[in-house]
Amino acid sequence: MDDLARKVKKANRDFYDIVGSSYESIDGRRSEELICYVDDQVRMISRNIKADSILDLGCGNGFISRVSNSYFKRRYALDISYGVMKDIDDKNLCRIAADSDLIPIKDAQINCVVTFAVLHHCYSYEKILSEIYRVLTAGGIYYSDHDMDSHFFKRFGLLLKMYRKINTISNHHVLGFDQALKRIHHCSEFHSDGIPSQTIKAKLKSIGFKDIKFDYHWFGLSPLTNKMFGKRSYNKGYAPLVRIIAVK
């Protein structure tokens, strides 16, 4: 692992240790509409597999773990930051403080792995995707959502930069972020210009995933964009968010 990779991992651990249980309230995007949208996605997945176990990878405050409670018997939540998940009030949830590149779960134990708004925090993807494949059972599903696609950023980067000037987590003054903390946050958002979706798609295929599907959508950003664009899929480069479904 090179120095920059270590720096990115440390920034993710340090920033979310500081933010802790306040993350979702500061982020402000876990709306009822988004909860219903994700609930639909998880429910559909649970109907297509043996819904025994799910891993919420990069769990934060446990958003996916809460949504999946109705559909999976065993739930695991993993994050590199213990501080961000230590206050999750769920006695039936197995919490794991660990690196997503080294998941401490035996091979072929998990029916579904979810990364929600996680991939843009990763320095690289080979290890995390390989680990996801390893822990999934045969026929298990990997679901990822709510990371921005780099093609969209390239097309609309100027508008996005203007938007971020007024609406980014480090500009919320609830915690009084100083410049040092803003720098840590910026480092933790390593792919803030969007994830390389086509590179990730190729890696998923090379690792052994099949039935790989990428969709690009707008849903869950704000009430206004939900109303304007709905839940439908758009051509690559014309919607910011990437939804991935892949089968082992």
**Beta pairing class for 136-148 and 241-247:** antiparallel
CB 215 within 8 A of CB 152: no
Annotation: CATH topology of 3-247: Rossmann fold (3.40.50)
Q: Are 28 and 89 in contact (CB under 8 A)?
A: no
- In the chain, domain spans: 3-247
Question: What is the C-alpha to C-alpha distance for residues 190 and 120, in angstroms, rounded to an integer?
Answer: 6
**Strand, coil or helix: 161:** helix
Q: What's the pTM value of the predicted model, to 2 decimals?
A: 0.93
Cβ atoms of 109 and 78 closer than 8 Å: no
Residues 168-223: tens digit of each pLDDT: 554 444 455 677 788 898 899 999 899 999 999 999 999 999 999 999 999 998 89
pLDDT of residue 170: 46
- pLDDT tens digits along 84-104: 999 999 999 999 999 999 999
d(CA 30, CA 35): 7
Instruction: Calculate the average pLDDT of the chain.
Output: 92
81 burial class (0-12, 13-18, 19+ CB within 10 angstroms)?
buried
